Amino acid sequence: MLRRMMLVGLAALVVFGMAAVAQEPVTIEFWHAMSSGHQPNLQKLVDDFTAEYPYITVTLVYQGGYGTLQGKIDAAVVAGNLPAIAQVYENWVTPIAPILYPIGNFMTDAEKADILDGLVASNTYNGVLTTVPFNKSIMVLYYNKSLVTTPPTTWAEFFEMSKALTVDLDGDGKVDRYGTAFRPAANPEQFLIFLEQAGGSILNADWTEVALNNDAGKTAVEFVGSLIPYSYITSEYMSDHIKDAAMFVDTSAGIGYNQKAATNAGFELGAATLPAGPANFNSMIQGTNLAVFNTDNLTQAQKDAAVLLARFLLRAENTVFWAEKSGYQPVTKSAYGTEAWLTYVGSHDFQVPMSEQMLNAFAQILHPNYGDMRNVLSTGFEEIMRGVVPPLEGLENMAAEIEALLE
């Protein structure tokens, strides 16, 4: 009896002792680039998290736009004062993958399996889920409902409608409204979508060779080339040029601005999944992930707390809350089946195609030089769309420059 009591007492001591150790106060910084409109919602999620884990304090640190956040992370890598957790684009952290703390190792199988399929590869380093998706958007087709009654579902329809909707309204010999629009310098992802839909990719499967200029690449570039006469080209937000095109491919996160611009211009804006190419109608996912850093300036308790926060934000109710408030898309499969999300979609019809597109999506490759490759694509795509070089020649130029980056 005495022995049993001693054992129970010992067990209780161990349990309470561990609990006491686990509840040592810990403070972590979360570096982000969410502007003030999003901050109350992010703060609400953090407040919910700290209510559940009262021993953790999360300091949200706004670091300006994405460019300055990236610069700050780069500087902090050198100075050794990284935060526990930060918003990151894939190409920011691929060169520093060894100092990332593999969040996936501390998640359940069910949590990992719940992440949308299109988001797994772009968060997986050497077979381990290392970062997790956070604020994700998808490129969809926006269209002027007063001009387009049924949005195009194939490349052929997209071409025909772009051609038909390019018009000189005042008869002065100049086009006043184009069928479609592109932002090649700011958004080379628009070209990558056509490449994916033609069945192509920048590199081959094991990243040893450039695949950009194979048959699929040529199909893609010839198609975008055929759209040049019917395309409005800009490097600014599409919401600033909403009247200049009848249809355009843009991020789902821009819906708020695009809708307001359309209201200003006196028409209703529609959203649809992308027209399908020869291989698929996949679209490119954009937006950032969450990375936990594994550096000496952070204690184990801070890393553990950061992992808990990342897992918390992935919960269906939280990714749905964030999506509803921010305009980004939920990042887990279970989120799309929640009552909250279905109710939201029911009252926001533009979300139907966006949700469908999220399930048919691809993300950027995790090559360490992807950032430079994106720069090549940006310049090359711009030159093609502005007619500086013929499409096929532009494609070869981009392939040659990316080849050099592989070497």
Q: State the DSSP H helix or E strand holding residue 188, giving kind and residue range, or none if neither.
A: none
72 binding other proteins? (CB under 8 A):
yes
- Binding positions for other proteins, 234-273, rule CB under 8 A: 237, 239-241, 243, 251, 253-254, 256-257, 260-261, 263-264
Member of 2, 19, 21, 78 binding other proteins (CB under 8 A): 78
The answer to whether residues 134 and 289 touch, using CB atoms and an 8 Å cutoff, is: yes
- Encoded one letter per residue, x for contact with other proteins by CB under 8 A and - for no contact, window 323-352 reads ----x-------------------------
- Quick check: helix, strand or coil at residue 387? coil
DSSP 87: E
**Cβ distance to other proteins smaller for residue 17 or 67:** 67
Q: How many CB atoms lie within 10 A of CB 205?
A: 8
Member of 64, 229, 337, 390 binding other proteins (CB under 8 A): 64
43-51, 65-73, 273-281, 308-316 -> range binding other proteins (CB under 8 A)? 65-73
DSSP of 29-66, one letter per residue? Answer: EEEE---TTTHHHHHHHHHHHHHHSTTEEEEEEE-SSH
77-85, 272-280, 302-310, 394-402 -> range binding other proteins (CB under 8 A)? 77-85
In whole angstroms, the minimum distance from the beta carbon of 89 to other proteins comes to: 11
Q: How many CB atoms lie within 10 A of CB 77?
A: 16
In whole angstroms, the minimum distance from the beta carbon of 388 to other proteins comes to: 27
Counts of helices then strands in the chain (DSSP H, E): 16, 13
- Quick check: helix, strand or coil at residue 115? strand
Query: Residue 154's closest CA among 284, 277, 279?
Result: 277
37-45, 90-98, 201-209, 364-372 -> range binding other proteins (CB under 8 A)? 37-45
- Encoded one letter per residue, x for contact with other proteins by CB under 8 A and - for no contact, window 13-32 reads ----------------x---
Distance CA 189, CA 118 (A): 15
Distance CA 337, CA 339 (A): 7
User: Which residues contact other proteins (rule: CB under 8 A)?
Assistant: 29, 33-39, 59, 61-66, 68, 71-72, 74-75, 78-81, 237, 239-241, 243, 251, 253-254, 256-257, 260-261, 263-264, 327
